[in-house]
Amino acid sequence: MMLKSMFYSVVKTSGPTPVGLHLRSPLVISAEDVVRFDSAVGHREGTNPSHLKHGQLALFLSAMTEPGMLLLLASPWCPINPLGAVNVRNTFELIRPELCDLEKLTKMDSMHVDAVMHPEPTRVKRGIEWALEITISTPSKRNNGTYQTIFRQVFIMLEFKKMPGSVISKSLDESKHDTSTPGSTRTNTQISLSKDDPLKWAALCKDYNFIHLSGLAAKLFGLPGKLAHGNHAAAKALQSLLDAENTALPNNTPLQMRVDFKKPMVVPGIFEVCIKESPSTGIGFEILQKGKVHATGAYGPLEPDR
């Protein structure tokens, strides 16, 4: 399998350690990657994809690092059964936005990705949740061989298991998030997820899981049909925010964002996007179809202590 061949020949990996399963890989971002992202999210003609807005930049960098997560899942030491696990939540941190200028990153050949699977899962009602942390690091300006982290993402994978009632703990994804606050503004837009969209996103992030490529394969796994990638839907939702000319964070502000996936999004399909913007809580959004929430998200300034 080509994926596992890449795993052993390109990355440095180790078995389980006290800090978890870990791998390191070089990262190269090309101008073609930016063009693929531009096409996948539907940037309007005339926009400059080399200067993506905050949320879009985080999702672009996430797509660039997703192969690290896939390689962790392909490791023989990975404790997760990929056939019985789904991605339920992602968090993103744009730690050093001033160092994430794509004009510079596409010319850099010294970046690397670190991917770590945390060794202790969280027990929740439907099973156990595993955290896979991915970071991008670039050489520091000191030129002394040290690196600085500019971006972080944490994938939360839910592995379905029957759990005894006495050991169930409340997961973060079960908590309720209501971004409606006094003074908030609300905008409703729409996004379209075509039957070809999953292949466009897979070309960018390298997640060629059959459930994103074949409706028949998805149904064999008990799913309602061919599914969109969750981060792709989030990227399209944020693009609809920009198209509606909603306020975005200044590009020099560190960002934190969280996206929760509630229901699978079958393609092709039209989805509503409800965007809520508040001076106190930041920007939140929901992706809905026929009144049912399929995904929620929120982003705002990164807390200073992170």
Instruction: Give pLDDT, residue 81.
Output: 86
Residue 233: the pLDDT is: 98
User: Could you tell me which residue, 17 or 299, shows the higher pLDDT?
Assistant: 299
Mean per-residue pLDDT for 145-163?
92
In total, how many domains does the chain have?
A: 1
Is 118's pLDDT higher than 80?
A: yes
Q: How high is the pLDDT of residue 8? A: 38
Summarize pLDDT for 179-204 with one digit per residue, the tens. Answer: 445 556 678 999 999 999 999 999 99
CATH of residue 85's domain is: 3.10.129.10
By residue range, what is the domain housing residue 189?
Answer: 2-301
Is the pLDDT score of 2 beyond 50? no
In a domain, 164, yes or no: yes
Domain-embedded: residue 78: yes
Q: pLDDT at position 10, please?
A: 44
Residue 306 lies in a domain: no
| 5 — pLDDT class (breaks 50, 70, 90) | very low
Give a yes or no: residue 221 inside a domain.
yes
Cα angle for residues 99, 100, 105 (degrees, 5° grid)? 100
147: closest CA among 155, 137, 156, 157? Answer: 137
Q: What is the pTM of this model?
A: 0.86
Categorize the per-residue pLDDT at 145 as very low, low, confident or very high, splitting at 50, 70 and 90: confident
